[in-house]
Amino acid sequence: MISTRAQKNFDQMLTLGIKASLGGSASDLCEVEPVATLKDITESHAVMITVASFLFRLSVLIYFSPDEATRRHFVGVEGDDPTTKDDQAFFDAIRESCNVCCGSLNRELATVFPHVAMSTPNIIERECGSHLETLKGGYLQHFRATTGAGSQFYVTLCVRDYAAVDFEWTMPEEAESSGELEFF
């Protein structure tokens, strides 16, 4: 069983990751909101990544289509030429963005759970996401992320629990910076 508090914390941790990765910068991403179902999405692919501990296995799917707007968004996020037609550069860029998303989630989970591990990102067909419900996980939640540029991405969070999952977590406060240099 996954407690309501743990569900809320998983959602907040994933939202931090989404904001850190899918918008290009935290300020570019304007909104992340839960949605009831993904039945209306038209994206053809998803990037799947998994974070696991002894108590749970968490899968995140980030849906996308390899269309021109998505290519521009992700290749531009990675700093490469967004006009490139190179499929490998595009898939590498989207995998890296999703890796950053789940890396953020993994870091936050590691503050609570002593043993967590993260998989490498894999690109799968969108239809594979519909099978998450058959896993009978303890928690399944969908999100829509809308960037300041108007791009929308859908994300699924599926948590399978192997024991009772309940934990306390506090969202980190954003550090204010006045632009000063820091020397080490």
Q: Which residues contact 102 (CB under 8 A, 6 or more apart)?
A: 17, 49, 51, 60, 118, 121
Tens of pLDDT, residue by residue, the chain (184 residues): 999 999 999 999 999 888 888 865 444 556 889 988 877 788 889 999 999 999 999 999 999 888 887 887 777 655 555 555 678 888 888 888 888 888 889 999 999 998 999 999 999 998 888 788 777 789 999 998 888 777 788 999 999 999 999 999 988 776 444 445 555 4
In single-letter form, the type of residue at position 27 comes to S
* Residue at token pair 């993994």: 106
What local confidence, expressed as pLDDT, does residue 180 receive? 52
Q: What's the rounded Cα separation, in Å, for the pair 45 and 89?
A: 16
DSSP secondary structure code for residue 47 in this structure: E
Angle at 139 between CA 66 and CA 154, to 5 degrees: 20
* Residue at token pair 């898939």: 91
Region of residue 10 (phi > 0: left; psi between -120 and 50: alpha; otherwise: beta): alpha
Q: Which domains does the chain have, with CATH numbers?
A: 4-161 (3.40.1550.10)
Region of residue 47 (phi > 0: left; psi between -120 and 50: alpha; otherwise: beta): beta
DSSP secondary structure code for residue 165 in this structure: B
What local confidence, expressed as pLDDT, does residue 42 receive? 83
What local confidence, expressed as pLDDT, does residue 53 receive? 94
Strands annotated E in 10-167: 29-35, 45-52, 56-64, 117-118, 122-125, 139-147, 152-161
Backbone angles phi, psi at 70, to 5 degrees: -70, -40
